[in-house]
Amino acid sequence: MDKLIISDLLLRCIIGMNEDERKNKQDVIIHIDIYTDTKKAGETDDIEDTVNYRTVAKEIIRMVEGSSYNLLEAMAAGIADICFRHDRVEGCRVRVEKPGALRFAQRVGVEIERWKNK
């Protein structure tokens, strides 16, 4: 299966369960693999024959920056839901990372994989 890749999308949002995390926006880094068939788009060179990654990214940015999740897992699931709003998406892998969340670690994160027919 072909994939479109959105890598290292750096956004700020409310994320976490601690009092300070509920008040101050924090950085999250998002990586998304969108599984789709790109064969027709490769032949036609027409944006209508593929998933428009710009549109998907704008929807994700709007959702994440306006969100207030407790858990990275919930944010990742919300991002996957946005991906599936687009008809040509067959599956997606979403990784959400939170820099500085754990002492002695660069970042912590969660990765989920979802498929349309599973």
Q: Is 3 labeled as catalytic in the residue annotation?
A: no
Tokens of 61: 């940015």
Q: Report H helices in 1-118.
A: 19-23, 39-44, 53-65, 72-83
Q: Which of 25, 98, 116, 118 is catalytic?
A: 98
| Residues with a known catalytic role | 98
